[in-house]
Amino acid sequence: MRHIISILLQNEAGALARVASMFSSRGYNIDSLSVAPTQDQAVSRLTLVTSGSEAVIEQIIKQARKLIDVVEIVDLSVVDHVECELVIVKVRLLPEQANAFIHCVRDHHAITLDGTDNTRTTQLAGTSAQIAAFIAALSQFSNVMELVRSGVAAVQIGQHVVSA
């Protein structure tokens, strides 16, 4: 099962490496990783997506809590949360595919960033499922040349705040 893990950690050299090393040394895979400072510059929020049984995720959380840099860790998959990811896609288009591209971008609420005679670069922010649907739709009529995804950013909804 897919899990979104939110980790607050000290914003220090090597903190991210220690978390990644813990995953690697235990054979856990990280499907997506996003990290940046929070409103407190001394603390960063690391959001990662991984897969595993409840027991595996529980073990990951227990082991991560033991890392000196980890301030707080929460499995957002088991609480109400919102998530978002950014994708930037460059496609090759034939002139007769331009209308299909325009409709696809409009239907998926994407934004065109750049275009030439035969390429278009577009971005979409949304859930992983929305991004997958957009890429699939683009692939039906165009050739995807490049694709860059930001990784999932997520936060628990409501009054609860995961903080240092």
The yes-or-no verdict on residue 25 having pLDDT over 90 is no
Q: State the pLDDT at residue 5.
A: 95
Residues of the chain with CATH 3.30.70.260: 2-79
Q: Inform me whether the pLDDT recorded for 49 exceeds 80.
A: yes
Measure CA of the first residue to CA of the last residue in the chain; give whole Å. 28
Q: What is the pLDDT of residue 24?
A: 87
- The CATH homologous superfamily to which domain 2-79 belongs is ACT domain (3.30.70.260)
Lowest-confidence region among 14-23, 85-94, 154-163:
154-163
Question: What residues does CATH 3.30.70.1150 cover in the chain?
Answer: 82-153
**pTM, rounded to two decimals:** 0.83
Average pLDDT over residues 111-116: 95
Q: How far is CA 85 from CA 34, 38, 107, in A?
A: 10, 17, 18
Mean pLDDT, residues 28-37 taken together: 92
3-state helix, strand and coil shares in percent for the chain, rounded to the nearest 5: 30, 40, 30
- pLDDT value of position 79: 92
pLDDT of 75 reads 94
Mean of pLDDT over the chain: 92
pLDDT value for 161: 64
**Of the segments 16-20, 33-37, 53-57, 131-135, which one has the largest average pLDDT value?**
131-135
Q: Which tokens hold the place of 22? A: 């813990």
With 60 as the cut, is the pLDDT of residue 83 above it?
yes
Q: What fold, for 82-153?
A: Alpha-Beta Plaits (3.30.70)
In the structure, what pLDDT confidence band is assigned to residue 163 with cuts at 50, 70 and 90?
Answer: low
Average pLDDT in the 98-118 region? 95
Query: Which tokens hold the place of 53?
Result: 């049984």
The confidence score (pLDDT) of residue 117 equals 82
